[in-house]
Structure 1
Amino acid sequence: MTARRIRNIAFAGIVVIAALIWIFPLYWALTTSLRSEARIVSDAAGVLLDEFNFAAYAEVLSNSKLPRWYLNSIGTSVIITTIVLLFGMMCAYALSQLRFPGRKALYLAVVASYMVPLPALYVAQFVLMNDLGFVNSWQGVILPQLIVPVVVVVYKQFFDAIPREMREAVLLDGGGEFTLLFKLYLPLNWGITTALAIITFIIAWNNFFWPFLIVTSEEMMTIPVGITQVNDTFGVAYARMMALALLAAAPVIIAYLIFQKKVTEAVMISSGVKG
């Protein structure tokens, strides 16, 4: 056996061990959610899945507003993703292709916004939403989450790479700026749009702190916020807690498995821009 093959086998073994370590918490959550509470706290409970009890899932679905929280999370995430991409695309197009006073200063302000952590803005945003009467409203949940400067930066970089001759040809044919953006630039960058849409949706779905601050009623809660309310209602009920956590994470896990390549691409793009 050659040294290279030994190294490959050792590397594969390390990867398998790392994968098992990573997946074990998910496996443990699944086994816990499929057991009765008495089985979980008993000495007979082991690592292997030895019971298929769906009582915890039935309890969570029947005694909580989980379906409503699902709809809230889906609705707000879709709206946030759509608005962020649309306005980010148009802003990037203006910064890349149009010439107007203050263009460079505006772009520097967008890039400089990376230095401001979002939690530092929460107090000011909450005061503003309260003054506007948007506390416990969809406007209050959505508006502060529309600040995603990475979308502007990524789009601008790709718009800058498109040859100016293509733009001039469309203008000579009588096309306007919206024609250029939506019929030329957007189709050429459709893969980037898909990647940014997926990562923006996942970020909006997982956002906890801002919806937790701005929402005061259970009917307006999203999935991450609703989890805390169910835990408080049920107390320490391990099977129910794990069942709720898995149900809340299921859409994101499924989306990641389906669009894994695009998610990875979006993360690499974001990391490259920040780097």
Structure 2
Amino acid sequence: MATQTLTRPAPHAAAGPALRKPRRKITAGKAAVTAVAAVLAVLWLVPFAWATVTAFKSEPDAAAPEVRWFPPSGFTADAFVKVFQDGNIPLWTWNSFYTSAAITVITLAISALVAYALSRIDFRGKKVLMTVIIASIIIPPPVLMIPLFYQMVALHMIDTSWAVILPQVIHPAMVFVLKKFFDQIPRELEEAAVMDGASRMRIFMQIILPLSRPILAAVAIFVFISAWNNFLWPFISTNDGSILTLPVGLQTIKSAYGIQYAQNMASALLAALPLILVFLFFQRQIIKGVATTGLAGT
């Protein structure tokens, strides 16, 4: 009796091609978006690279009419040395850091509490308050400079750090962003906490805030950057050299020999360097926060 040998097909032989991950097709739309993003990146990086190169030039090379990326006399750090000699960079940097940090912390506390109240609590005048907050986003900040200045004079806070901090802790846009995010958090979580006897503040601290870490990080970074870059209000409210912030202090370094291009570029780089470091360390939180905010607004 002839024995027939049955050949069992390999279990994955036929399924092999099907298990392969399909290659992502690069559509014309994605290619166009990538090309536009690359062009915009180059347009932003070229001026920054030129400012960096100019900061390391000598003043004659920086003032020369010819566009040269590599100066004839070579690169030098004399502009940075001059800036540090003429100004108190460490003190101004510290002033900018602690005022920006204080503004960020106070703004987060106020904005988160107001946004939570608008999102979860029903009270009389809620719609009117929300309308005022949205309308206040449209008001240009320079319009409020004179009233704020007189207010600081009445409170005897001119030439103090509080004069720099307090007027910058109100950010209606951040209240609106946080409110839209809180609206997306399921209310069932709060209802379960209420059944367990949790208070409103405990729910806010132990449920809402932990779930809102991405957007809180993004808001904190945006507020910190805004406070660090603010020049006009600290310039108006302070005259004491010991409490000047870095953007204001760098403007006090002037030369009697006209515009010093290398020195100006060195000052600009010193002012931007902390923000570049903040972005490099927290870029994941910034991108995640922006993406989360966009989803919350839909």
> Per the shorter chain, which TM-score range?
0.7 to 0.9
How far apart, CA to CA, are the structure 1 residues paired with 2:182 and 2:27?
45
Alignment pair present for 1:30 and 2:30: no
Identity of aligned residues (%): 36
User: Which string of whole-angstrom CA distances, capped at 9 and with x for unpartnered residues, describes residues 238-262 of structure 1?
Assistant: 2221111101111112222333344
Code of the aligned partner of 1:35? K
Task: Please state how far the C-alpha of 1:39 moved relative to its aligned partner.
Answer: 3.3
Contact 1:136–1:220, Cα closer than 8 Å, also in 2: yes
User: Which string of whole-angstrom CA distances, capped at 9 and with x for unpartnered residues, describes residues 167-190 of structure 1?
Assistant: 121122121122111110011111
Q: Secondary structure at the match of 2:253?
A: helix
User: Which string of whole-angstrom CA distances, capped at 9 and with x for unpartnered residues, describes residues 95-115 of structure 1?
Assistant: 222233222222222222123
Q: Tell me the TM-score normalized by structure 1.
A: 0.87
How far apart, CA to CA, are the structure 1 residues paired with 2:189 and 2:217?
23
Distance 1:274 1:60, change over 3 A: farther
Contact 1:30–1:243, Cα closer than 8 Å, also in 2: yes
| Correspondence list, 1:179-258, <5 A | 179-231=202-254, 235-258=258-281
User: Which string of whole-angstrom CA distances, capped at 9 and with x for unpartnered residues, describes residues 148-197 of structure 1?
Assistant: 01221122222222222211211221211221111100111110101111
Task: Please state how far the C-alpha of 1:46 moved relative to its aligned partner.
Answer: 2.0
Name the structure where helix makes up a greater proportion of residues: 1
Q: Secondary structure at the match of 1:193?
A: helix
Alignment pair present for 1:48 and 2:70: yes
Gap regions ≥5 residues in structure 1: none
Task: Please state how far the C-alpha of 1:268 moved relative to its aligned partner.
Answer: 6.7
Distance 1:34 1:101, change over 3 A: same
How far apart, CA to CA, are the structure 2 residues paired with 1:238 and 1:88?
41
Q: Tell me the TM-score normalized by structure 2.
A: 0.80
Q: Give the equivalent residue in structure 2 for 1:154.
A: 177
Distance 1:120 1:21, change over 3 A: same
Structure possessing the higher radius of gyration over alpha carbons: 2
| Correspondence list, 1:78-227, <5 A | 78-227=101-250
How far apart, CA to CA, are the structure 2 residues paired with 1:16 and 1:70?
33
Code of the aligned partner of 2:122? R
Gap regions ≥5 residues in structure 2: 1-25
Distance 1:148 1:126, change over 3 A: same
Q: Give the equivalent residue in structure 1 for 2:14.
A: none
Distance 1:43 1:203, change over 3 A: closer
Residues paired across the two proteins, number:
272
Distance 1:21 1:168, change over 3 A: closer
Code of the aligned partner of 1:69? W
How far apart, CA to CA, are the structure 1 residues paired with 2:100 and 2:232?
15
Code of the aligned partner of 1:22? W
